[in-house]
A and B are shown apart, each in its own frame.
Chain A
């Protein structure tokens, strides 16, 4: 029985701005070059440049730094290293940011020990960028080199159960029934091992910090590339013993993040340290090679066993994963749990382990854990559908879950079935010949059609916003949230405009400054939901003040009307019962004589609903590939990505999120792999030429469908978020389509030419 919980449809008005495909409000700034990113802000007084020196060895100890040779160069100001970094906060907890995993966080330039290749070992500060770069290139450093281990495959024996310690990490679900017996007895079964190696986020903007030394005590304006200014502020303030006033973090535009900017990166530490020591404005920018020195999607080995009965019903699900982490932190992802949410079986077994290697700590990367787990799960499900003699789509519908089996809770909403149906119709799935190697195009290329599903949390975090309505009728709303490209600027402007019935042109939304009310890091697809609710609440508080002031007007048409019975439309307050009882906001402000109205709004998770329900967004990806068997080349010629993610605030920017997610799925399936040279313990393709991501020529038709989904339990504003969901299912759907085209089941990503020949 369906446990879908629906709410009555809301009345939609022409003046509504939520749900409309409105252009990004920051669009003109971005396309004209006016939008300022972290490395682009002016400072008061001259600016010095810091250039980071990275370790060439994976493990060992620095024995000598020939800093004097570099300091002799005129214009070089300082060489910072573990030898001269001032004593800072002593305890680990000072270095723990809001989203740190368990363990001891890395402390830049803290000690001579080298824990991973490309570890930052020095910062050279000079009067120009060119000089700092040159001086860094000639700095001689001596190391005692120790034997390292960066080989996951040969370290399986050292694996341990992934510990708790990171917020949001769910341990594997408890086992059910008798997995081994059920698997042994089932008529249809598959067992497979799935592998992908490290992948690096590589946002287009390299990590950068510009510190504006204001010359007033320790006060600084710290322009940082981050997905969360408040998280950087608490990190910097704790380490350096600064007040919030001294360590103001500003991040107006973030040139992509995808998870790389969730935790404060080491360039912000280095820049602030140098500014404090030199009492000078400073800019530190990583180079592209150093963008491979930080967190990454960890190399993960997965084992799946699935079994079904004669009718095609799942009888057994086993999903085990082993991922790498650093020697000093336990980065955990939720990898295997998705197999217990998307499908149900009477016999299950789940396991998730880590192994410590001489590498930096991995980091959350778009759809962390789910992208990993869903590739393996949805590949195995596809394989089992062929074994059971069922169409892959039919097999998924046959094993559809109406409740979340991992927690035995109803979903607040789950329209995955509609994603399947609407996606299949748009794609033309009914024309598919089920036999592998049965379809070819007019040029004779093998054609394959594949499908796969995905699932992601719909979560709410604590967030706050402030709204100010000035006498001229302009509404300014602010929150220290982020926009790494997700569309935060425009959707929050829409939310504010909608709540008070104002035109978009009369509303401004500001973000990315720790002087604003706190908001969580932008990740986990929770910004639209969390910050959106805070913005709505702040604006409603303004609305309540407006109503009180309107009722003070002589013979007020709204006398005696409760706030719940008032609507805000077209710049007016109107009584719901009789919309002719109306007062213009402008008139209320004029009559009141107030220069401005201010209000704060907060939002956060609803613990009671979280106990009672499972909250998720879902998608189904349909993919067409064409394979040239002689060359082993794969082209993704068509994708239909059908998404059920609650209310879509802005179909234009939400579609872009899903387009981007689809490109990420394609990239994971066909291109992305950071090659680790185990002899050197070092990633060797650390640049954009050798770390492959799609170009324009790789991307063809992508159709995005948003399935209607009403859900006021998962979120007070009906929003589930779309940042991650679009990526899910895509990689598996491509691998499944390649199987359908070629008859070859590839379980190792990326699906490069060599794996098909």
Chain B
């Protein structure tokens, strides 16, 4: 396909605060996603996220510059508290967001019946990895876009895109988790709360860092999950990224802290027709949002102009590498040879 008619994917960037939203817009995001200050979204951390006033100001800031705002209401309504989730959907519609990102089928049903004009995206937390599932969500709830979990190879993503008219959004950069998005309960095992239930993985109230002569201990609800030597890099304090003793050996028994970086695969992502490329990290500060947005903006534009000769610039990889969690960046599942 000649580059001129190849679809240029939307760059979708995270915002945990109004300054972060402005950084995303000012540095070239096409779309910004945000959440409210409660358990209705999967980054429910103290002091983070938006209330009605800041959301309204952010939406005005973005839309007046021709950008879009999505609201993540992507946790599962907890029994007896459905009203809170419904109110979030009503608020999103009232504020005039460009779409809501949702996972809970009950909520998708509520949104499609109560606010049929409000665009609906299927969240990564919905964990739909095949086109049959995505088409079912489309038929039942009229979703316009699905965010794919980070478990598929490029050829599998291509296969999904070829068999659905629902737009497909994929992750382009950010911290990786154990690749069972929408199905992970590890955090609940140690803390009683996990992303789908309370909107938070390793809630901060369960986290303690303790300086000892041997290094810094990371504890989750008192459970020692890792210990870092004086200058050893640290990761987020999640069970999946801890080092554990297994058969007398202490190592990353589940996964090593790692970040996804798809720059090298951009021409392929453009060729197969992804609608949007998403950046992880609503919990990060405005400085991160600015750096990552600026870098991905330049890279996507370059890949679109001349995909055949595109190669990631060392400066881009350096900028992304600096803000990454873990010592490694990876193409994740996109280029794994096995299926």
A, B co-complexed? no
